[in-house]
A and B are shown apart, each in its own frame.
Chain A
Amino acid sequence: MNRKFVAILSALLVCLTYSVSFAAETIKIGALYPMSGRGGLYGQDSEAAIKIAVEEVNARGLPGGRKLEVKVIDDQSKPAYAVTVAKRYITEDKVNFLLGVVSSAVALAVTEVSKEYKTIFVGTDHGATDLTANAFQKYYFRVNNNTYQSMMAGAMYLKEMGGNKKIAFIGPDYAYGRDQLAELKYGFKKLGVKADFVGEFWPKLYEPDYTSYITAIIAAKPDILVSGFWGGDTVAFIKQAKAYGLFSKMKYAHFDAGGNYELFSALGDDCPEGLILGSKHHNNWPDTKENKQFVDKFHKATGRYPSYAAQGAYVGILFIAEAVKKVGNAENTEALVKAMEGMKLKMPEDPPGFTSYIDPATHQMVQAESIGITEKNSKYPPAKYMLGKFKDYPADKITPDQEYIDLLKKTKK
């Protein structure tokens, strides 16, 4: 009994003292992503994309010959744990930058840490508009689009479809889902779109069975169903709804996370045709050299095609590297903030002739959005369907306006 105890204890101690720590003299970036559970794929994709970006950046070189070093830790999608890790990154590991997160709840907590410790936090995959509006603080920058941008593009798309439409909405019952509907309605108001909302449905997040919602939606007889799911919920909903013939009874539009590649690779042949989907990044659009290169590099490194989280993380690293190059070092935080505020950076998702840029007032990357329709396409296995017939929406038309930001500040304070 005695020996067993000592053996186990020593084994444990050995395991636990082995932890990766940063090398000296590098530019340190502390990244937080969900590596397990429901968001695990996004964390894995982000980590792979970060590796690719870091190699590129270090090959091109940084001021002072320093190298970029990124550590990725699983935030478990728990705000409290993420805050502890972020604070540890800053106080123990002395990182120069924080990077990441997928969950907006985690982002809202970590941005407070960034503010308190005056450490720049670059957001790469969470969509809550709050972070660049009412929860804005100057050390936070976001390179992926927020939900407002997606929904405004969606509103424009629906307007172009014309006519007076009956619309139903379904989304997960928490801020992410509710914000998307609020932003869609705001977009309709701004564009003067007349729409009749015949039903709003709020299943809980990770709801396994949508049957009751599907039958109720069909009974409400909308022309268009707009949905606000993400991840596995999207796949589950589409599979279940297809069995009830929902997609032959109405159009289906999903603007923020609908066109994520993971959806196509999970659905395979089961993907319905004619779904109207937008995404933070499309693997097959725009058809530019930069986008193709990014997707190919990712595929070569991991053996699969990227979800949209990858582009965000990739751009996040390039963004930080550019700022460091401009300032000449990674320590002068105020100068880095200034450099980031004026940053223009070509992203793989940029349409030809356009370069995304940071809005200095909100620290949100102003970028274009594209919305497409599902059609047969086997060029990105294991997906059997991808998007096509894309419509592009220019960046300046979909950026949140001051009026919306003021509205958020008033309602969410």
Chain B
Amino acid sequence: MSIETIISQFVGGLSVSMLLFLVASGLTLIFGVAKVFNFAHGSFYLLGAYFSYQAIALFNNFWAGVIAATIGAGLIGMVLEICFIRKIRGRSEEGAFQILLTYAFILIIDDAVKFIWGPEYKTIQKPPSLAGTLEIGTVSLPKYNLFIIVLGIVIVIVAWYLLSRTKTGKIIQAASTDSQMVGLLGVNVSMVMSLVFGVATAMGGLAGAMAAPLRTVTSGSGIEVIIESLIVVVIGGLGNFWGALLGAVLIGEVNAFGVLWLPQWASLLSFVVMIVVLIFKPKGLLSNETTGKKI
């Protein structure tokens, strides 16, 4: 096992991680801030991919697709939040109903997508500006993957800055911790939550559009993405962007080296990692608590 192999596995793992992070970032926002168990996050990823496909078919421009995906997924997310999720807030067993409701979304969106666009796999090309490969020594890195790495880092920094350094961000954080108080202070909490939900689904759509050139665009891909992103979010800690990044890198690299050193068991490693993390650090890697219990 040469040093070059290790480096190239590491870099490859990093690009997997960033894509994972892109998908998980929206989920951690919804979970941690809007406090919604959005099972259907994968469906917004899916919608993002299909909106992007449609926009590219109309305008022949990759970036038009990305914009369409982000805005489209965001709008639909907000509509769903306002029409449905908002109406079940405050119910007893709210969590259970969120699961049920968002699962219903998955079923409906998956079939709607199949109905509108058909069951064949769709492909999206990378934009010509990002189509090449960078060769650094013996390590190859496609430019597109590098772009995703950069994009992921930008998102973390922007999200962290917006949430903790701006007034809006602080309002959002406050609203998630104590919505009653914030409401009494004159903030329209419902609107804030809807906005946050919309931003989170928009991020899901963005992830879908960015991932689409690399993967297959098909109606099953929504469900497949959920489990992986849930793992990353939980490992990192709900609502914690840096945690999600750390979790994504951990899972990406564990998989990358698992393929090399434990090829027979590589596919089970993500679950093992999550189990280990949850047993020792249930609130996520970056928290201090060890039981996750309120008492």
Contacts and interface: CB of A to CB of B under 8 A. Distances in A.
Complex A–B touching at CB under 8 A: yes
Interface string B14-43: 011001000000000000000000000000
Contact of A40 (B19, B125, B219, B267): B219
B189 to A, nearest CB: 29
A202 B266 contact: yes
A164 interface: no
Interface residues of B, number: 47
Contacts of B220: 37-38, 206, 232
Nearest to A42: B119
A206 B12 CA distance: 19
B263 A243 contact: no
A390 interface: no
Contact of B214 (A36, A209, A212, A215): A209
Contact of A245 (B16, B133, B224): B133
Contacts, number: 124
A186 interface: no
A79 interface: no
Given A209-B19, A239-B214, A245-B140, A304 B13 contact: no
Interface string B228-251: 100000000000000000000000
A117 B219 CA distance: 35
Given A216-B259, A236-B214, A239-B214, A208 B120 contact: no
A212 B256 contact: yes
A208 B224 contact: yes
Secondary structure of the A contact surface, majority rule: helix
B263 A201 contact: yes
Interface stretch (A1-9, A264-272, A333-341, A372-380): A264-272
Interface string A162-197: 000000000001000000000000000000000000
A208 B123 CA distance: 14
Interface string A7-38: 00000000000000000000000000001111
Most-contacted residue by chain B among A44, A211, A213, A232 (CB, 10 A) = A211
Interface in A31-59: 35-38, 40-41, 43-44
B124 to A, nearest CB: 10
B216 A266 contact: yes
A266 B225 contact: no
A24 to B, nearest CB: 33
Given A37-B220, A235-B216, A236-B214, A202 B267 contact: yes
A218 interface: yes
Contacts of B86: none
Contacts of B266: 202-203
Contacts of B213: 239
B214 A240 contact: yes
Contacts of A216: 5, 9, 259-260
A236 B219 contact: no
A169 to B, nearest CB: 11
Interface of B: 2, 4-5, 8-9, 11-13, 15-16, 19, 110-111, 114, 119-123, 125, 133, 140, 142, 144-145, 211, 213-216, 218-221, 224-225, 228, 255-260, 263-264, 266-267
Interface of A: 35-38, 40-41, 43-44, 173, 199-204, 206-209, 211-216, 218-219, 231-233, 235-236, 239-240, 243-245, 262, 265-270, 304
Given A212-B12, A215-B5, A267-B123, 9 more contacts: A37-B220, A202-B263, A202-B266, A212-B257, A214-B12, A232-B216, A243-B214, A245-B133, A266-B123
21 contacts: A37-B220, A40-B219, A41-B121, A43-B119, A201-B259, A208-B224, A208-B228, A209-B215, A211-B16, A212-B9, A212-B13, A212-B260, A215-B5, A215-B12, A231-B121, A232-B221, A233-B216, A262-B120, A266-B123, A268-B123, A269-B125
